[in-house]
Structure formats: C-alpha cells, structure tokens
Amino acid sequence: MTHTRLDLPQGTLDLLILKALTLEPMHGWAISERLHQVSKATLQVPQGSLYPALHRLERRGWIKAAWGTSDHNRKAKYYALTAAGRKQLASDAEEWARLTAAVALILRMD
C-alpha cells in the first residue's frame, strides 16, 4: 500500500488544516485521514509535522483546542476553527489561488 506522496510546499499544511476544520471540529487523526481521503489518496500528510503545525495554529489563535471523547470513548483533543482562523483561511486560500495561477501561466509560457 504505497501512496505517491507529494511534498507540501512550505506553509501549505496550515492552509489545509484550516480548510479541513471548516465544517466541524476534529482531532489530529481525523484531520490527517480526511485530507488523505479528500485528496483522493494523493496527499499523505507527514504526520510528524501535523502536530507541531496544529500547535502553532493554536498559538496564533486561528484554531482552538478542547478535549472530548472520540467514537470509541477515548479522550481526544479536538480542534475547531476560530473567527480569526476563518478570516485567515479566506486570505490564505485566495493567495494560494493567485500563486498557483501565476505559476501555471509561467509554466505555459512558450
């Protein structure tokens, strides 16, 4: 079961985490799985960097953490998007779109 791992450009992981949390609060494992599924198994989030990223986002106030119970009644730390986080997501997403559009233009050159 090997996946083609794409290397995430710097800072993209933050964007993906914020997006993953738009619908509902999730714990780290769920975020990792969700990203994997939705990207049609292309993206394997480097799990070692997932948690430092989550903690960094929490420190900046874009997500907030709360302890809850998972489906199997285990204690898990759930992360939810804050209002500031939503704003940040919107601006980051727009920036990403502009960046990729620009890169695509250049690649289509000649």
Residues that bind another protein (CB under 8 A): 27-29, 32-33, 46-52, 55-56, 58-61, 67, 70, 72, 74-77, 84
Q: 16 φ, ψ to 5°?
A: -65, -40
| Residue whose CB is less far from another protein, 16 or 28 | 28
Output the smallest distance, CB 83 to another protein, in A: 9
Pairwise CA distance, residues 32 & 17, whole Å: 9
Output the smallest distance, CB 94 to another protein, in A: 19
| Contact status, residue 70 vs residue 76, Cβ threshold 8 Å | yes
Output the smallest distance, CB 91 to another protein, in A: 13
Instruction: Tell me the helix, strand and coil percentages in the chain, rounded to 5.
Output: 55, 15, 35
Strand 75-81 versus strand 63-69 pairing type: antiparallel
| Residue whose CB is less far from another protein, 59 or 108 | 59
| Residue whose CB is less far from another protein, 19 or 28 | 28
